[in-house]
Each structure stands twice: as C-alpha cells, then as structure tokens.
Chain A
Amino acid sequence: MTTQITSAPPAAEPRKGDRRRPAGSPAANVGRPGFGWALPAAIFFTLFAIVPLIMVAVLSFMSWNGLGSPRFVGTENWSRLLDDPVMLKSIWITLLLTVLGIVVQTPLSILLGVWAAGHQRNRAVLSAIYFVPLLLSATAVSVLWRALLDPNFGIPAEATWLFGDGNLFGEQTTAIGVLAFVSTWQFTPFHTLIYQGAARAVPEVLYQAAEIDGAGRYRQFFHITLPQLRNSMITSMILMTVGGLTTFETVLILTQGGPGTDTTISAYYMYEKAFKSFDFGVGSAIALTLVVAATVISLVVVRVSGYDKMRSSMEGVS
C-alpha cells in the first residue's frame, strides 16, 4: 500500500513541525503511516465499544428495570444465570447453530466460489443471481421465509410429501433446521465471494504445472485449490463463528425463541431478558458472557489454524 507519505518531498529540507519524519530519520519508516492515522478509529472504537462494554460489565452486577436507579446486587445476576436451565440450553443451541452454519456453508461456498472464479459462459449472470440474498436485510429475509413456510399457504402446503403437516416451527429439530437453512441461504453468497476472490488469486502456473504432471481436475482441486484457500477458509470460518454466536434477527422474527424455549439462542435470550422482561442486570450478564465466548473462540481458531503466523499460501510458488 502506498501512502501520501511516500510521495512527500525528500527530507533534505525538513519543514518545521513535521514530527512524523524528523530530519535525518532512517529510511526504515518510509511508507508506514504514523499512529495518528489510527486515532479516529481508536476514538470511535473506545467510545462505542470499550466504554459500553465497561458499562455493561458494571450493569451486570446491578438490578435495574430501566426505571429509577440501578441497585447494586453483587453477583446475584451471575449466580441466577448459572442456575438458569434456559441459559445453559441457549448456549447449546447457539453452538449447535454456529457449527451447523459452518458445516453446511463452508463446503457450499467453497464449491460455488471456485466455480464462480472460472471463466464459464453465463457465470457472471448466475453469480449475480446467487448474490441477491446478501443484499437483503436479515429482517426482510426472515419475514420472507416465514411467509413462504406457512403450512397452509406456503411451500409446505404444495409439497406435503416432503413437509408432512408442515409444522416446521412447532418442533425443535425442524425449527432449528429452518434457522440454519435461512442463514445459509442468506450468507453463503458472502462466503462464496471470499472464496471466489481467493481462488482467482491462485497462480495459474500451479495448474499448468499440474497439468503437465498429468493431474486431473479433482487432484488439482484437492492438491492445489484447497490448500491455497487455507487462509480464506480461516477468515470465512471466523466470520461464521462470530456471526453464528451473535445471530439475532432470524430468531426474533422466525421463531421468537419458540416453540417454548427450544430455539432461544443466547443473543435472543439477552434481548428477551433486557428488553422484554426489563431485567437489564441479567441481560448485561448474558451479553458479557457472549462477548467473552466470542473472543475466546475467535482467538482459539486463530491460534489453532496458525493464522496468526500468516504462513504464506504462496509456498513453493517462487
């Protein structure tokens, strides 16, 4: 990345007050922006992420219904949460949905992405169509599918051989299935895009060499394409994990956590506690738990995958 600094006049005649590049500084820093560049983002992040986070942490030790003054209650919210069967259940359902999302979406988006990176006829048109779901908001998507899946007037009514009585939202398995399906429908295009970009970046020479060695299309895919997609795969999976842990709108609109509490994921449970039951203390405790969990899981994924070392995917190319 080139920045304006590199095109600044040489340091022969230093201007007054130019602190970033004092006269006679070694050329090592040429092209590296100073800390000042990060300041707006840092301020923004502190104001809208760090400060609220601290406040939520404080609030998790208080009892507050939004009216009057919060009352300090020590660890009561936390111990209530530990004994709450719905909380435990919500964690399992959240993890289940997250894992389901990754397992279903990853292979799908790799295949679609690699295909979309090619040069077939009509590819551009089809890719554009695949991309449409991503342009819709999660709310619109959920409302749409809720109507499409109505047992009496929607798809299930036309395909009774597949859906039976169509009670998709009345049972846990099918309700979770619908949630996973709708997320997949909406977010596969995004991950496809990541893989398409990555697949296009794979140097052509690798395939040419493989061809000379007599490798078929499947071997090329498994031995060249897939390994080259490694870093993109990690990026995509981290996004899926964090996205899965914070899924919210789909549950709010499609199932409202039901039947009973069978699809109450943690993020929805937090909303329910804070904004429907007006128990902001417990809501904050759930929020904090989610923040910690998402951070830990992301870090683990980064560590385990070796992404932090940024091992080059260009090994063996040059």
Chain B
Amino acid sequence: MKTRAHLPRLVACGAALTLALSLSACGNGDASSSDGKIHVLVYGDASNKVEKQIVDTFNKTSDVKAVLDTIPGADYQQKLQTIISTPQAPDIFFNWGGGSIQPFVKADLLLPLDDFIKKNPDLDNRFLPSVFNSAVVDGKPYGVPMRGTQPILLFHNKKVLDKAGVKAPQTWDELLDAVKKLKAEGVTPIALGGGDRWPTLMWFEYLYDRIAGPGLFQKALGGDTKAWESDDSKKALSMIRELVDAGAFGKNYDSVKYTNGASPALLASGKAGFELMGSWYYAQQQEDAKAFAEKDLGYTTFPIVPGGKGDATNVVGNTNNFYSVLKKTEHPEAVAEFLKLMYSDEFVKAQLAIGNLPTTTNTSQFLDSSANPDYSRFQYDLVAKAPAFQLSWDQAYPPAAGTPIQQAVQQFFNGQLDADGFIKAMQALPTE
C-alpha cells in the first residue's frame, strides 16, 4: 500500500542520521578500525573481484590485516556520507576525486597524502599526471588512482555511417555534415539518453573544452562566475543550440534513457549513427549486442573545433576512481603500504583482464594482455597524451551542484532556458 509509508520512512532516515551523528560525537576519538584491521570500502560491482585479490595479496605480507567492505548499488555516495562520521567509517574508501571528496576535505576527515608521497615518491610518479591531479583539493593530493580511467569517446555504427556515405568526423563541420546526411537516410544522427541527463552534459563538457580550453571551467569552478559570461562560453552554447536545432538528437531524446539500455540499442539496431559515451560503452555493447560490438562498433575522439583554444587531444570524462584515506586511521603505515599495491604489476594485469584501464605508467607494458588490446591501447594513448583531462562537471563540483547542473543542461537542450538563462543557472551553482 502506498499511503503513509514513504514520508515517515524518509523522515526516519533523517533521524537515523542525527542519531548516527550524536553517536559519533559521543564516541569521540574512537578510531574507525578499533578491531586492529584496516577497512577498505569500495563501490560494490564486478571490479570487486580484483579488489578482493589485492586485499589477499596485501594480507599475505602485512601484520595489520585489511578487510574489504562493499556497498552495492548506485547509492554509494549517500551511504558513504552517512557512515563516514560514525565509528563504522572505513580507513580507505573509493571515490571519484574532485568535488565528490571536497566536502570530506572541508570537514577535515581526510588525510592529505603528501607525507606518504614524500616517503615514497612513486605514489605520485607512477601515475599519469592528468589523472592524479583530479584528486588534488586545495593544492593537496587526497587520492591514489585505483580501478581504471573512463574517457568519453564518440562511438558510431560503421554500417550506418557507410550507408549514408559518412566518415567518422574529425572536425565540427564534418559532424554537422554527417548529421545532415544521416537525417536524409531517415536515422537519428546521434543517440542520446537525455532522460538520464548526464549523457547530455557530456556534449557541454567537450564543446566547452574544445572552444575555450580547460581554463574556463577551472576558473568557474574556482568561484569566478564571470567565466560563464565569456564569449567562448556563449559560442559553445550557440554551437550546441545549432546542433540540437539541426535535429541531431531527434525529438524525443529526453524520453530515452541510457541506463535501461535504450540509447545503446538505438546504435546497435542501426536506428542511430553516433553516441557520445564513456569508455565503458564498449563493454556495455558487448553485453547487450555482442555481434554488433565485435563487427560494427567504431570509436573516435571528439571532433576538433577550428579556431578553438582547447587542445584537440584534451579528454573529458571520469579521470579515474581513487582511494582516499581517513585522517583518524590507526594504521597509517599499513595504509601507505596498501596504496603502493595500486601501481603494482599484479594490480594492473588484474584490472586489464576485466576490462578496466589503470592509469599507471607501467600499464603500457601489459596492454596486450587486456580483454581488447586495440581498444585499450587507443584509450591509454589518448589519456597518456592528453594535456588536460576534464573531470565530469557534476563530479568536479561539490555534490550540491550536481542536480542544478543536470537540470540546466536539460532545460537548455529542450529550449526551456536560453543562453542567458543557462549562464545564470551556472553562475548560481554552489562552489563549496
């Protein structure tokens, strides 16, 4: 029965949080790992297989044992935030860097890693710099890369493009041209899961970077809201408008979702030509449409915008996942030892074997052992050469800005907001 159940439940959640808070206040000074072990908290999914293996390896040589805890499902961030100030808090936890850990840094819960790095410079040197830097908050590193990088690529259906006489576009004009030709063929030029909103955001992230370079967004993120009013910003918006108005995404993109497999199916079934998506797309298509993924799925980098200030090799996406360390951990030495494993050969090989692409400098040696060497090599070169790797906007900003960004993006796409409205919405975002 629907009725009264929801409200008290949500209310109770809030109260439970209050309770948890007061508990942690009472238990002042209680270290997280009072059981003498270090707890490693990660997002529960298929990658846990590797994490389990790494923990086992660590425990073979370490006196202080590590325990792997997982939180399943998409509620990771919410649940993490509820337990982190309680006695159940982990010693090490998985995150996306940037804005996703900023509130924890502000609340003085995290350990800056410079001391670890001073003792063992490899903790910094052995990772690609563009990736390592996205877990730097206020000039101090708070994360060591783990799992893999996820750059956003422009995927396409080779068959559909061939039929329309289109090649994978290198420039923006070629993309506009491709849109026209694909439309004439009666297919949706670009598949877009607008119902999820974050896929729409990807178009903004790349265009802003190509036109203005990474500086504009970094300025805005730093609190300089004037950046959103700049000519480059307006130019990016007008180009997005042009693309949408040209019918590039069809008319019903806001009713299509990526997360229920609808937009990937558009590409796989030949009803669309392109889709802009994170590198996990390949694995997704392999699962949903194996034959298509093996024969007809193509991928390229995002097109160049002539005259744009951004380097054509810049990349946008989820730079990586990171391990951050809680300040109150009782075993900092053991934690530092554990983090060293994140650039070990064993870690890299195990991640590659399940399709993740680690961003350590030794990764390139093992690319041939990956699930799909060509694809892994393409991605790795892309990320290794990228002068800048822009973390997704909704991850770079603190969590409070996530929903407003996605709303503004959706509203600009469907015409509810004009350029000025979008600029105002972005200027109103909380930066801390």
Instruction: Answer yes or no: do A and B interact.
Output: yes
Knowing A65-B103, A187-B2 are in contact, say whether A150-B256 is a contact too (CB < 8 A): yes
A35: interface (CB < 8 Å): no
Q: Does B402 contact A170, Cβ atoms closer than 8 Å?
A: no
Q: Which residues of B contact A151 (CB under 8 A)?
A: 252, 255-256
**Contact, CB under 8 Å: B255 / A149:** yes
Q: At the interface, yes or no: A73 with Cβ under 8 Å from chain B?
A: no
A149 to B257 CA separation, bound complex (whole angstroms): 11
* Contact of A107 with B by CB under 8 A: no
Chain A residues with a Cβ under 8 A of chain B:
48-49, 51-53, 55-56, 58-59, 64-70, 138, 143, 146-147, 149-153, 156, 165-170, 183, 186-187, 190, 239, 242-243, 245-249, 256-261, 267, 270-272, 274-280, 283-284, 287, 290-291, 294
| Interface pair A267/B10, CB less than 8 Å apart | yes
Q: Name the residue among B10, B78, B260 with the largest chain A CB count within 10 angstroms.
A: B10
Whether B400 lies near A279 (C-beta < 8 A) is yes
Contact partners of B254 in chain A: CB under 8 A? 167, 169-170, 258-259
Q: State whether A278 touches B399 (Cβ < 8 A).
A: yes
Among B85, B197, B262, point to the contact of A256 (Cβ < 8 A). Answer: B197
Q: How far is the CB of B380 from chain A (nearest CB, A)?
A: 33
Which residue on chain B has the smallest CB distance to residue A283?
B14
* A-B contact number at CB 8 A: 168
Are the CB atoms of B255 and A272 closer together than 8 Å? no
Closest to B407 in A: A260
A165–B252 contact, CB under 8 A? yes
Contact A52 B3 (CB under 8 A): no
Q: Which residues of B contact A52 (CB under 8 A)?
A: 8, 11-12, 14-16
**In the complex, what distance in Å separates the CA atom of A67 from the CA atom of B80?**
10
Most buried by B among A146, A151, A245: A151
Given the complex of chains A and B, what is the CA–CA distance between A55 and B13 in angstroms?
11
Could you show 9 A-B contacts with beta carbons less than 8 Å apart? A52-B15, A68-B108, A138-B2, A149-B255, A187-B2, A242-B3, A243-B4, A249-B6, A283-B14
CA distance A156 to B15 in the complex (A): 43
Verify B11–A170 contact, CB threshold 8 A.
no
**CB of B274 within 8 A of chain A?**
no
Enumerate chain B interface residues (CB-CB to A < 8 A).
Answer: 1-8, 10-18, 21, 25, 78, 81-82, 84-85, 103-104, 106-109, 194-195, 197, 250-257, 260, 262, 265-266, 271, 399-400, 402-403, 407, 410-411, 414, 416-417
- Shortest C-beta distance, B273 to chain A (Å), equals 14
A279 contacts across to B, CB distance below 8 A: 400
- Whether the pair B410, A56 counts as a contact (CB closer than 8 A) is no
Beyond A67-B84, A152-B271, 12 additional pairs, beta carbon < 8 A: A48-B12, A58-B18, A66-B85, A147-B260, A151-B256, A152-B252, A165-B251, A166-B255, A170-B254, A245-B7, A259-B254, A278-B103
Cα distance, A68 to B105, chains bound together (Å): 11
Contact B403 A277 (CB under 8 A): yes
Cα separation A215 to B417 with both chains bound (whole Å): 60
Residue on A nearest B261 in the bound complex, by CB: A147
Contact of B197 among A143, A156, A187, A258 (CB under 8 A): A258
Residues in chain A near residue B12, CB distance under 8 A: 48, 52
By the criterion CB–CB under 8 Å, are A67 and B2 in contact? no
| Chain A residues with CB under 8 A of B260 | 143, 146-147, 150
> Contacts of B13 on A, CB cut-off 8 Å?
275
Q: Which of A168, A245, A259, A261 has the most CB of B within 10 A?
A: A259
> What secondary structure prevails in chain A residues at the interface with B?
helix
Inter-chain contact B252/A166, CB cutoff 8 Å: yes
| A152 to B249 CA separation, bound complex (whole angstroms) | 13
Whole-angstrom distance between the Cβ of B195 and the nearest chain A Cβ: 6
Q: Which chain A residue has the least Cβ–Cβ distance from B83?
A: A66
Residue in B197, B250, B257, B403 whose CB lies within 8 Å of A272 = B403
Closest Cβ neighbor of B5 among chain A residues: A246
**Minimum Cβ distance to chain A for residue B333 (Å):** 26
**A247-B2, A294-B7 in contact; A153/B400 too (CB < 8 A)?**
no
Which residue of A is nearest B75, CB measured? Answer: A275
Cβ of B256 and Cβ of A152 under 8 Å apart?
A: yes
Question: Which A residue's beta carbon lies closest to that of B20?
Answer: A66
CB distance B17 to A280 under 8 Å?
Answer: yes
| Contacting pair B4 A59 (CB below 8 A) | no
- For residue A254, which residue of chain B has the nearest CB? B195
Chain A residues positioned under 8 Å from B4 (CB to CB):
242-243, 246
A152 touches B266 (CB 8 A): yes
User: Are the CB atoms of A287 and B251 closer together than 8 Å?
Assistant: no
Chain A contacts for B2, CB-based, 8 A? 138, 183, 186-187, 190, 239, 243, 246-247
Q: Are B10 and A270 in contact (CB under 8 A)?
A: yes
B104 contacts A287, C-beta separation under 8 Å: no
Instruction: Indicate whether A66 sits within 8 Å of B82 (C-beta atoms), given known contacts A151-B255, A267-B6.
Output: yes
Cα A26 to Cα B392 in complex, Å, equals 76
Shortest 7 CB-CB contacts between residues of A and residues of B: A170-B254, A52-B15, A67-B107, A167-B252, A151-B252, A169-B255, A243-B2
The chain A residue sitting closest to B408, CB to CB, is: A260
Assembled-state Cα–Cα distance A277/B21 (Å): 18
In the bound assembly, the distance between CA atoms of A91 and B12 in angstroms comes to 22
